[in-house]
Structure 1
Amino acid sequence: MRDFFLTEDDRAFRTEVRAFMSRELAPKVDAIERDQDFGAQLAITRALGEAGYLKLMFPDFHRGTLPKPGLTHAVIVSEEAAFLNYAFETTIATALSCAYPIHRFARAAPRERYLTPILEGRAIGSICMTEPNVGSDSAAMEAQIRFDEVTREWVVSGFKRYISNASKADVYVVWGVTDPNVPPQKGLTAVLVPAGARGMSFPRLYDFIGRRGSIVGEVAMDEVRVPEENLLGEVNDGFRIMLGAFNFERVILGGSGLGVSRAALDIACQHAQSRDSFGQKLGQKQLIWDMIAQMSWKIDAAELLTHRAAKMYDSGIGGKDLMREASQAKLVASETAVFCADRTVQILGGDGVTRQYGKAEQLYRDARTLPIVGGTSEMCKYLIAAREMPSIRLNL
């Protein structure tokens, strides 16, 4: 039995979400992939919000029937969405990754102003960390945030790239350096920047190998001014906020990887059971059933790790105490997605690399993004090893 960590309430919720995705998302996946129809994504996001599915990990907002809603259920939503279309899942996962620090660290007025529309599906958010010289090494951040004592405003200047929902988001969580005279991890601050802020621009949108339909691009900020109340947490508290956001994002990405992996396995199994080759079904060949078996156990391992991390989060475990488990979930689920997509293409042969014969080639392109976004596989391995060997300071 799969989903070992889930309760009967969790499984019933999965059935409900799967029906929702079949009704709302499935009819639009071709438009999202072929036409990169972002309007279709916004319409589905609105439906998700109206159904209450974007409030699951924020129990104080949730008004549904689940007795204990949490990240476990957000992961289920992520998985079921990614099973049908990873680009759409990216859009909502990014919005929720933005909602997380707003919910935890924003002042009352901006929290109400920006969080409620996201959770109701009327708005989407974005997070701005990555820079031209900053990927996994967030401590090397160059964007600057300073406080204007005269106007009582935060002033943001910097350039961010590989930003999901760039130019489309309604609010951006932006990290920058507020104190260059201390170690980088002690001098970062996060603020909220609303769409339309003077000095904010979007120089370029990227054309990715996969996730067709998701919007990813650059965000430039030239003396962007936001109210004092738009500070998240406290000054120089940005690194701690970032750690929590990464844990949250990596567990969600575990769900993304599971959805892509499951979709690939389904295609491979259907083909192996229906295709005749040398007088017998393709699935009767040892090399084929070996690939199917490997896909199956890898998915189970990824699922166990992802649901464990989600359940830990829901029990109140976070910060450095969740870093290892969140990294394991993201690492194994994303690498499994790449493996399953690759093996599925191989099993399908020519049909696997041709758009006219199903979505195997799309899954292959989509999956390759997963070991990079939200912390590379290499970074996840570092974080895991660092927790296993606390007495040794690992050298990146």
Structure 2
Amino acid sequence: MRDFFLTDEDRAFRAEIRGFMERELAPRLDRIEGAEDWDAQLEICRALGEAGYLKVMFRDLYAGSLSAPGLTHAVIVSEEAARLNYAFETTIATALSCAYPLHAHATAEIRERFLLEILEGRAVGSICMTEPNVGSDSAGMETRIRFDESTREWVIDGFKRYISNASKADVYIVWGITDPDVAPQKGMSAIAVPAGTPGLGFPRTYDFMGRRGCVVGEVTLDGVRVPEANLLGAVGGGFRIMLGAFNFERVILGGSGLGVARSAFEIAKAHAESRSAFGRKLGSKQLIWDMIAQMSWRIDASELLTHRAAKMYDAGIDGKELMREASQAKLVATETAVFCADRAVQILGGDGVTRQYGRAEQIYRDARALPIVGGTSEMCKYLIAAREMPSIKPDL
């Protein structure tokens, strides 16, 4: 039995979301993948927001039929979106990753200005962490944030790259160092920067091998000034906010990986059951059986780990207590997506690498980003081992 951790209510919600994605996302797939039409993505975001699906993470704002909405249901939304198009899922996952710290740490003024706009699909958010010398290791962050006492404003200078929704977002959550004289984990802060703020620039958008249609690029901050109220949480509290955001993001990425893996698996099974070779169905060959079996157990393992982490979060477990489980979910599900995409292409043969014969080659291109974004597989392994052996300091 699949979806072991889900309740009947969760399963009904999955069926509801799948129907929504078939109605709203499926007809726009060619516009997103082929034309890289950003408006197509915005149309679906608005529909998601109007239906209330972007609020499932926030029980105080959600007004739908679920009795206990939470991360479990955000994961289901992510999975069902990624099953059809991982590029679109990247857009909404980034918006939710922006909404998460806004909801938990923003002042009432900033929450009122941006949070509902994002959750109702009328705006898009972005999170700005990565820099040329900062990926998984946040200790090297070079962006600087200082407070101007004369104007009561935060002044930000820095450069961020690989930022999803760059140039398209309505608000950017920017991490930087407010106190360079202490350890980065104690001197880091997070600031909300509205689009259109003077000094905020977008010099380049990246051209990726996959995820066609989502927008990822660079963000420059040259003397950017925002009001005092735009600080999230306390001064020096940015690292703690980042840890919570990472847990959230990694569990969501577990859902992304599941959706991509399931899509590849469905394509591989259908081909193995319909294609004949040497007088018998392709699926009857021992080596094909092996591939199908490996895809199957990896998907189930990914599902169990991802839903476990989501249920733990919904039970109130977060921070370091969720770090291992969130990392396991992200690691296994995203690696499974790559494995299943690769095996699907192999099973389809020539059809698997040809755009004219279905989505296998697109899924293969899309999947490869999953073990990198949101913390690499190597970083996830480090976090898992760090929880298992807390007395050992690893040699990174």
Normalised TM-score (structure 1):
1.00
1:93 lines up with 2:93 in the alignment: yes
The alignment status of 1:309 with 2:309, answered yes or no, reads yes
In the alignment, the residues of structure 1 paired with residue 43 and residue 186 of structure 2 have an alpha-carbon distance, to the nearest angstrom, of 40
Per the alignment, residue 395 of structure 1 pairs with 395
| Partner of residue 374, structure 1 | 374
Instruction: Deviation per CA, 1:211-231: give whole Å up to 9, x if none.
Output: 000000000000000000000
Structure 2 Cα separation of the partners of residues 57 and 334 of structure 1? 22
Deviation string for 1:154-187 (max 9, x for gaps)?
Answer: 0011000000000000000000000000011111
**Structure 1 residue 30: deviation in Å?**
1.2
Tell me the alpha carbon deviations over residues 104-160 of structure 1, each in whole angstroms, 9 at most, x when there is no partner. Answer: 000001011010100000001000000011111111100000000000000011000
Equivalent residue, structure 2, for 1:299: 299
**Deviation sequence 1:57-87 (CA, Å, 0-9, x none):** 0000000010000000000000000000000
Amino acid at match of 1:175: W
User: Residue 136 in 1 paired to residue 120 in 2?
Assistant: no
Runs of 4+ in 1 over 3 A off after TM superposition: none
Amino acid paired to 2:84:
L
2:182 match: 182
Q: Which residue of 1 aligns with 2:331?
A: 331
CA distance in 1, matches of 2:183, 2:330: 28
**What is the aligned length?**
396
SS at match of 1:316: coil
- Give 5+ residue unaligned stretches, structure 1: none
The one-character-per-residue Cα deviations of 1:251-288 (angstroms, maximum 9, x if unpaired) are 00000000000000000000000000000000000000
CA distance in 2, matches of 1:126, 1:102: 11
Secondary structure, aligned partner of 2:62: coil
Q: Does 1:169 find its partner at 2:175?
A: no
Shift in Å, 1:393: 1.3
Alpha-carbon separation, structure 2, partners of 1:225 and 1:22: 43
Q: Secondary structure at the match of 2:175?
A: strand
Distance 1:259 1:29 in 2: 15
Q: What is aligned with 2:31?
A: 31
For 1:379, the aligned partner's letter is: M
- What amino acid maps onto 2:243 in structure 1? L
For 2:216 and 2:173, how far apart are their aligned partners in 1? 15
Equivalent residues in 2 for 1:22-171 (5 A)?
A: 22-171=22-171
Secondary structure at 1:20's aligned position in 2? helix
User: How far does residue 395 in structure 1 lie from its aligned partner after superposition?
Assistant: 2.1
Partner of 1:217, secondary structure, is strand
Q: Which amino acid aligns with 2:95?
A: A
3-state SS, counterpart of residue 35 of structure 1? coil
Q: TM-score, normalised by structure 2?
A: 1.00
1:316-346 Cα offsets, whole Å, 9 max, x none, are 0000000000000000000000000000000
Read off the aligned partner of 2:283 and give its amino acid letter.
G
Distance 1:284 1:174 in 2: 53
Alignment-derived partner of residue 321 in structure 1 = 321
Structure 2 gaps of 5+ residues are none
Instruction: Give deviations 1:337-356, integer Å, cap 9, x for gaps.
Output: 00000000000000000000
Residue 269 of structure 1 aligns to which amino acid in structure 2?
K
In structure 2, distance between residues paired with 1:311 and 1:135: 28
- Corresponding residue for residue 232 of structure 2: 232
SS of the residue 1:208 aligns to: coil
- Read off the aligned partner of 2:250 and give its amino acid letter: R
* CA root-mean-square deviation: 0.4
- 1:97 positional shift: 0.2
Describe the SS at the equivalent of 2:131.
Answer: coil
Measure, in 2, the Cα distance between the counterparts of 1:202 and 1:333.
32
- Distance, in Å, in 2 between the alignment partners of 1:35 and 1:277 is 36
Deviation track 1:87-116 (CA, whole Å, cap 9, x = no partner) reads: 000000000000000000000010110101
How far apart in 1 are the matches of 2:390 and 2:143?
A: 31
Q: Deviations over 1:197-238 (max 9, x none)?
A: 000100000000100000000000000000000000000000
SS of residue paired to 1:63: coil
